Amino acid sequence: MAGLSISSVTKRFGDTEVLKGVTLDVADAEFVSLVGPSGCGKSTLLRIIAGLEDPTSGDIAIDGKGVTGMRAADRNLSMVFQSYALYPHLTVAENIAVPLRMRSLTTTQRLPLIGPFLPGAKDQRAEIATAVQKAAEMLEIGPLLDRKPGQLSGGQRQRVALGRALVRDPAAFLLDEPLSNLDAKLRVQTRAEIAQLHRRLNATFIYVTHDQVEAMTMSDRIAVMMGGEILQCDAPSVIYEDPSDIRVAEFIGSPKINILPIELSNAELTLFGQVLGRITEAAQAGIYQLGLRPEALKLTQTEPVMTGTVAHMENLGSEVYAQIALADQTSRVTLRAAPAERHKLQLGAEVGLGLDLQDGLIFDAVGKRQRRIEVAVTHVREVA
């Protein structure tokens, strides 16, 4: 097991720049997710780490040793592919054994008829069989060892692909959207299993996904990628609560964060013409953007900051999400409410919304987080 470091990696395909200088350090035994919308370059980055693609510039190091330019077969990394990429003509046991056969047997020892009788081959083959058996037991696929991939379900194939990755002792595991071909229920189950596997193996994992839930639930750190850059790489709670870019705030969190325009002048923050509060330190006056998670908005009757009508409601049982069309505005905001408040959220009902400015995230006009703008506590509005 080893740490990994990626420094200023760029990649261009012709005229399109897919990666624009990505730098990321992954510690030994860390689980890092690369998450972002499709086309953000996360899979390309993973393939560059694996050695399946060469970076245009920049360096990759595994355990402190530079591997840029080294071919994938020599990097001692394991990879699980989105399509699982199992060899269809080999049984499950043979599939899992492939990485070991390729590394511990010589070309002649691998020959189909005479190979098993060559000196040393027997011991090697016995060792491989033991390792395969161990991997199969860990993933509970022992009974499937004699089947062909074509006879397996999606979830079983996924386990075989995992087995093939963990049968040897690689420097790191690279997983490329391994859950995207599974149905929703299996995905939740496998998610937990992969997280457990990570704890048990205590290995370095780099996990590519477009699903923020997977990233949030499994990772030690999440690297949010967009447009070929890592916008922020932090622990899941930091990514959610303290995003440093409006795109991170918008990508992570479901339903999406509400973004409202606010204005700062004379140390006062104004939203739709109402003064929300004062700031403690001087900051440049101008237009800013206020990000409010659905749970930061509250239903209120007394002195609401905003009013609107319920345009859509989603009842998830344990909580209720409502989209409120703001009065005199074209935009809608999403609100999270407790089930007890459901009766107030009938379609078309008029509601008042209050907010606590301290729960808000302030971004500048281009979307950079403005952490220096702090709201004075005394000026927080009273909410019911």
Instruction: Report the nearest approach of other proteins to the CB of residue 354 (Å).
Output: 52
> Does 118 engage in binding with other proteins (CB under 8 A)?
no
Nearer residue to other proteins within complex by CB, 41 or 99: 99
Binding to other proteins, residues 125-164 (CB under 8 A): 148-150, 164
Q: Which two tokens stand for residue 198?
A: 């990570």
Phi, psi of 254 (to 5 degrees): -140, 125
Q: Where are the alpha helices (DSSP H) in 262-324?
A: none
Q: Which stretch binds other proteins (CB under 8 A): 5-13, 66-74, 294-302, 333-341?
A: 66-74
Do 263 and 270 touch, CB atoms closer than 8 A? yes
Instruction: Report the nearest approach of other proteins to the CB of residue 66 (Å).
Output: 19
**Sheet with 77-80, edge to edge strand ranges:** 77-80, 172-176, 205-209, 31-35, 221-226, 229-234
> Does 113 engage in binding with other proteins (CB under 8 A)?
no
> Does 14 engage in binding with other proteins (CB under 8 A)?
no
Instruction: Report the nearest approach of other proteins to the CB of residue 329 (Å).
Output: 48
Q: Which stretch binds other proteins (CB under 8 A): 80-88, 306-314, 340-348, 365-373?
A: 80-88
Instruction: Report the nearest approach of other proteins to the CB of residue 46 (Å).
Output: 11
Task: Give the x/- contact pattern for other proteins in 161-180, rule: CB under 8 A.
Answer: ---x----------------
Do 135 and 200 touch, CB atoms closer than 8 A? no
Task: Give the x/- contact pattern for other proteins in 182-221, rule: CB under 8 A.
Answer: ----------------------------------------
Q: Which two tokens stand for residue 322?
A: 């409502």
Return the bridge partners of 228, or none: none
d(C-alpha 90, C-alpha 156), whole Å: 15
Q: Is 230 helix (H, G, I), strand (E, B) or coil?
A: strand
d(C-alpha 92, C-alpha 83), whole Å: 16
Q: Is 126 helix (H, G, I), strand (E, B) or coil?
A: helix
Instruction: Report the nearest approach of other proteins to the CB of residue 109 (Å).
Output: 13
Q: Judged by CB under 8 A, which of 2, 50, 252, 262 binds other proteins?
A: 50
Crossing angle of helices 154-166 and 184-201, in 10° steps, is 10
Q: Which residues bind other proteins (CB under 8 A)?
A: 47, 50-52, 71-74, 77-79, 81-83, 85-90, 98-99, 102-103, 107, 148-150, 164
